[in-house]
Amino acid sequence: MAKKGARTTEMADYEVHVPLQAVLLADSFAQKFRPITLERPKMLLPLVNVPMIDYTLEWLASAGVEECFVFCCAHANQITSHLNKSPWMSQPDFTVSIIESHDCVSAGDALRVIEQRGVVRGDFVLVSGDTVSNMSLTEVLKEHQERRKKDKLAVMTMVVKKSKPSPLTYQTRLGNDELLLMIDPQSKQLLHYDAVREPGSRDSLQGNSIQRHVSLDRSIFHDRPVVQLSNNLQDCHIDICSPEVLLLFTDNFDYQQLRRDFVKGLLSDEIMGNKIFTYEISNEYAARVDNLRAYDVVSQDIIHRWTYPMVPDILCAGPKASMRLERCNVYKEGGVILARTAMIGENTVLGEDTTVGDNSSIQQSVIGRGCTIGKNVVIEGCHIWDDVRIEDYVQLRYSVVCDGATVKKGAILEPGVVLSFRVVIGSEFRVPAYSKISMVPQPTEEDSSDEELEYADVASGRADSPRSPFTEDQSTRNGSISGDEDDTAEGPNWDPIEVGETGAGYRWAVRDGGQEEEWRHSVAPIPPEKIQEIVAANREHDVEEVDYDIRALGGQDSLEEEEDEDEEEEDDFEKEVAETFLRAARGVSGVQQEHVVIEVNSLKLAFNKTFADCAGAMFKAIIDLALEAPHPTAKELLSITKDVFSRWGSLLCKFLKGSDDEHEVLLTFEEICIESHKEFAPLFSQVLHMLYDIEVVSEDAIIAWASEKQYADESDKVFLKQSEKFIQWLKEAPEEEDEDEEDDT
């Protein structure tokens, strides 16, 4: 709550020219690229030999962004030094400023820090540093701003792109889960945002538990003749935001992730009425490198020039060693030496000063700068970074090999392997599929705060890092690495079962059943066996497949839904009241009657209830309390009830502001007798009498109740009959007029 006070920015004035600003989050707050990201931040990983962040900055600069704020968290000093070395800091029309923070664990925290700095003055582009795009921002900005002029609540415009998800695996090309978006086709307003596959479900057998039902709010269909529900849109993670977005993050300090918390929160929140809109791009490219599969797919898209002009031969253009494009998408940088018999297949990139030996074949791969590839090597679908040494007769398929790694003679890497920095694979060793090998040992115990984090910089060994014990451990380890880097043969720490006889590195174990999920996000294509398995699993599901009809959903179904919701709310309220009451009744220290009154009053406001509701709920709670004590016979129950009411009746009276409320109490009592606690049924009239005696229920209320019941069906009259005598007595006792009235009716 204190954060609210820190609000410093004011509403930007839209009349004056505000430079177009962008917020670039240079931390993914995820662990999908581990173990690589333990040593280098994800944004600096090379994507087709160019660091990812450079794609994003290049795009922002060419799209006309004037000020860019780069937010760094994990490995902040590496990103800072990269930017300082790059030409980005000295561009005439494009200023890059770095915002560092070390205690952020999520995008939400990052945005709150940015809000505190008060640097954002107007609408801004919010992207992550791993975005590759060539879209023009002019159109989407214009749309966003025009909408803002008409409707101040249109706080965000989200860029989407058509991309068909796989019908089998329910994931997109980029390895993300298939998204279900509901959009108003006229206003382009986003109405629903959800992943089709239940995220986080660890259905280990199927690997895909599909959410087969969609619940939609009925209000969506109000004054909308058409809504469009689509699963073939890909979220590009490019958002045009108004400054209010930052305020919303500050106000809702529990928002962590942009999509899961913020977007869903906004969509379900009807009180503030903030709206999100979508903008679909068709001819332009935009994608976020979220996982290793996306890394591979986006690399290939770049090689296939979908991202033009963000393609290798243009990005790496320079007077000295420029990248040249040859037939069949083969890109060669200067200084490449190929043996005469080397075969370079389609869609391959060869970095500067790389040599390839005799009879080696390379296909669909990206080879970095300064690599040495021996003879008779087979490389297919791999991403090999800089200064990698691959010896003779090695076979690599669909793997990622980071800087400085060595694969010794005759070793084989099965699909999906990740070799982190400086790892050595021993000769004739076979690395099993989906292994992850790093020189950094896998952190043995992950405390919960690590869950969403890349580790902070290894080299710095920063003391303020929350994970300092681990970092220290790591830096000592690093020392030993640099020691035996040259003679890797003598590495007492390395397990030959993990990396081979002369290898170096730790194999990371797969955690909590992740094995089954591994194939989803790996660089390797999905193996055919897996696909067959899924097909089989889906066929089972198809038997119970339901044909969804959106209109039906919009009509009847959602009506019921809403009622359900009301009921649920009622339950919640009653539960809360009962708990409050019980706290007092059980004598929890310090809780007194007045407290209960205050608390129930606040609940009444929170749930938007009347006094009658409160009285009803309280009455129920009292009855429940009475029932708690053992009551073998009806007589004992009555006496207990009497006791309880004599103690707590006065509390109940606090909520009885008129005969209507008392009436409600009676109805509740009747309900209890019929539905929940039948043991009260025979005691109805006695309890009624008692309530009258202790002045919980007045005469008027009882008579009103009785007269209402007069016309009910026979079944409802049970209690009326039971207490007929009492009512008769009531009517007769005080005045004669009642009798007259009775006669009249």
Partner 1 sequence: MVGTTSGYEAAVDQFVTKMRRRQVVGSQSSAKLTAELLRLVVSHQRLPSSGQAAALIEAVKAVGVRIIAANPIELALGNIVRRVLHIIREEDVSLASDSILDSTLDSDDEDEFGNVARRSALSAVSVAAATRNTLRAPSLYNLLESVPGTAATQVARVPSATESEARSRSGDRNLMSRKLKHNVIEAITELLQEIDNCHSQVAEQALEHIHQNEVILTLGRSVTLREFLKEAKKKRSFQVVIAEGAPRYQGHMLARELADVDLQTTVITDSAVFAMISRVNMVIVGAHAVMANGGVVAPVGLHMVALAARRHAVPFVVLAGVHKLCPQYPHNPDTLLNDLKSPSEIIDFGEFSDCLDGSPGGSRTHVVNPSFDYVPPELVSLFITDTGGHNPSYVYRLVAEYYSPEDYVL
Please say which residue, 44 or 524, places its beta carbon nearer to partner 1. 524
The distance of closest approach from Cβ of residue 308 to partner 1 in the complex, given in angstroms and rounded to an integer, is: 4
The distance of closest approach from Cβ of residue 316 to partner 1 in the complex, given in angstroms and rounded to an integer, is: 11
Contact pattern from residue 507 through residue 526 relative to partner 1, giving x for each residue in contact according to CB under 8 A and a dash for the rest:
-----------------xxx
Distance (Å) of CA 400 to CA 71, 251, 417, 418, 731: 27, 41, 6, 5, 90
Q: Which of 144, 173, 197, 520 binds partner 1 (CB under 8 A)?
A: 173
Please say which residue, 274 or 364, places its beta carbon nearer to partner 1. 364
Please say which residue, 134 or 399, places its beta carbon nearer to partner 1. 134
Please say which residue, 9 or 329, places its beta carbon nearer to partner 1. 329
Q: Which of 66, 203, 251, 284 binds partner 1 (CB under 8 A)?
A: 284
Structure tokens at 15: 């009349």
Q: Which of 12, 119, 220, 325 binds partner 1 (CB under 8 A)?
A: 325
Q: Look at strands 436-438 and 418-419 and give their pairing.
A: parallel
Distance (Å) of CA 237 to CA 123, 286, 429, 671: 16, 9, 40, 53
Please say which residue, 330 or 704, places its beta carbon nearer to partner 1. 330
- Report how far residue 580's alpha carbon sits from residue 600's, in angstroms, rounded to the nearest whole number: 7
Please say which residue, 330 or 339, places its beta carbon nearer to partner 1. 330
Candidate segments 147-155, 308-316, 623-631, 720-728, binder of partner 1 by CB under 8 A: 308-316
Instruction: Outline where DSSP puts E strands in 88-153.
Output: 95-100, 124-128, 131-133
Select from 29, 31, 24 the least CA-distant residue to 52: 24
Select from 536, 560, 557 the least CA-distant residue to 546: 557
- Residues near 691 by beta carbon (within 8 Å), at least 6 away in sequence: 645, 649, 665, 669, 697
Asked if 282 is part of the footprint of partner 1 (rule: CB under 8 A), the reply reads yes
Candidate segments 45-53, 312-320, 690-698, 718-726, binder of partner 1 by CB under 8 A: 312-320
Q: Which of 185, 199, 273, 318 binds partner 1 (CB under 8 A)?
A: 318
Q: What one-character DSSP code corresponds to residue 218?
A: G
Candidate segments 109-117, 159-167, 260-268, 630-638, binder of partner 1 by CB under 8 A: 159-167
Please say which residue, 225 or 319, places its beta carbon nearer to partner 1. 319
Please say which residue, 286 or 730, places its beta carbon nearer to partner 1. 286
The alpha carbon of residue 403 and the mean position of all alpha carbons in its chain are separated, in whole angstroms, by 32
- Residues near 685 by beta carbon (within 8 Å), at least 6 away in sequence: 719, 722, 723, 725, 726
Candidate segments 11-19, 26-34, 304-312, 728-736, binder of partner 1 by CB under 8 A: 304-312
Q: Could you please report the per-residue DSSP string of 282-346?
A: SSS-EEE--SHHHHHHHHHHHHTTTTTTSSHHHHT--SSS--EEEGGGEEE-TT-EE-TT-EE-S
Please say which residue, 305 or 657, places its beta carbon nearer to partner 1. 305
Q: Which of 142, 212, 304, 541 binds partner 1 (CB under 8 A)?
A: 304
Please say which residue, 58 or 613, places its beta carbon nearer to partner 1. 58
Please say which residue, 326 or 579, places its beta carbon nearer to partner 1. 326
- The angle subtended at Cα 333 by Cα 24 and Cα 130, nearest 5°, is 15
Select from 96, 124, 101 the least CA-distant residue to 113: 101
Contact pattern from residue 57 through residue 86 relative to partner 1, giving x for each residue in contact according to CB under 8 A and a dash for the rest:
-x---x------------------------
The distance of closest approach from Cβ of residue 432 to partner 1 in the complex, given in angstroms and rounded to an integer, is: 17
In the range 123-152, which residues lie near partner 1 by CB under 8 A?
134
Distance (Å) of CA 42 to CA 36, 133, 185, 416: 8, 17, 36, 18
- Report how far residue 40's alpha carbon sits from residue 67's, in angstroms, rounded to the nearest whole number: 26
Q: Categorise residue 533: left if φ over 0, alpha if ψ from -120 to 50, beta otherwise.
A: alpha
Asked if 635 is part of the footprint of partner 1 (rule: CB under 8 A), the reply reads no
Please say which residue, 63 or 702, places its beta carbon nearer to partner 1. 63
Please say which residue, 486 or 529, places its beta carbon nearer to partner 1. 529
Long-range contacts of 599-603 (CB under 8 A, 24+ apart): 600/655, 603/573, 603/576, 603/577
Select from 125, 126, 123 the least CA-distant residue to 146: 123
Asked if 180 is part of the footprint of partner 1 (rule: CB under 8 A), the reply reads no
Please say which residue, 280 or 392, places its beta carbon nearer to partner 1. 280
- Report how far residue 118's alpha carbon sits from residue 11's, in angstroms, rounded to the nearest whole number: 11
Asked if 307 is part of the footprint of partner 1 (rule: CB under 8 A), the reply reads yes
> Residue 264: enclosing H or E segment and its boundaries?
helix 264-268
Q: Which of 102, 121, 305, 389 binds partner 1 (CB under 8 A)?
A: 305
In the range 222-281, which residues lie near partner 1 by CB under 8 A?
232
The distance of closest approach from Cβ of residue 201 to partner 1 in the complex, given in angstroms and rounded to an integer, is: 24
Name the one residue in this structure whose structure tokens are 């020219």: 17
Please say which residue, 36 or 294, places its beta carbon nearer to partner 1. 294
Please say which residue, 132 or 481, places its beta carbon nearer to partner 1. 132
φ, ψ of residue 373 in degrees (nearest 5): -120, 125
Candidate segments 35-43, 203-211, 301-309, 425-433, binder of partner 1 by CB under 8 A: 301-309
The distance of closest approach from Cβ of residue 413 to partner 1 in the complex, given in angstroms and rounded to an integer, is: 15
Q: What one-character DSSP code corresponds to residue 412?
A: E
Asked if 297 is part of the footprint of partner 1 (rule: CB under 8 A), the reply reads yes
Select from 620, 609, 640, 630 the least CA-distant residue to 578: 620
Asked if 283 is part of the footprint of partner 1 (rule: CB under 8 A), the reply reads yes
Candidate segments 2-10, 293-301, 640-648, 651-659, binder of partner 1 by CB under 8 A: 293-301
Please say which residue, 91 or 698, places its beta carbon nearer to partner 1. 91
The distance of closest approach from Cβ of residue 477 to partner 1 in the complex, given in angstroms and rounded to an integer, is: 36
Candidate segments 282-290, 429-437, 456-464, 693-701, binder of partner 1 by CB under 8 A: 282-290
> Residue 69: enclosing H or E segment and its boundaries?
strand 67-72
Asked if 529 is part of the footprint of partner 1 (rule: CB under 8 A), the reply reads no
Asked if 185 is part of the footprint of partner 1 (rule: CB under 8 A), the reply reads no
3-state class of 1 per DSSP? coil
Provide the edge-to-edge strand list for the sheet that holds 412-413: 343-344, 361-363, 378-380, 395-397, 412-413, 430-431
Contact 293, 400 (CB under 8 A): no
The distance of closest approach from Cβ of residue 409 to partner 1 in the complex, given in angstroms and rounded to an integer, is: 26
For helices 724-732 and 737-744, what crossing angle results, to 10°? 120
Q: Categorise residue 412: left if φ over 0, alpha if ψ from -120 to 50, beta otherwise.
A: beta
Q: Which of 19, 89, 142, 162 binds partner 1 (CB under 8 A)?
A: 162
Distance (Å) of CA 685 to CA 213, 689, 691, 733: 48, 6, 10, 17
Asked if 319 is part of the footprint of partner 1 (rule: CB under 8 A), the reply reads yes
Contact 276, 184 (CB under 8 A): no
Contact pattern from residue 39 through residue 58 relative to partner 1, giving x for each residue in contact according to CB under 8 A and a dash for the rest:
-------------------x
Interface with partner 1 (CB under 8 A): 58, 62, 91-92, 134, 161-164, 166, 173, 232, 282-285, 297, 300-301, 304-309, 314, 317-319, 322, 325, 329, 346, 524-528
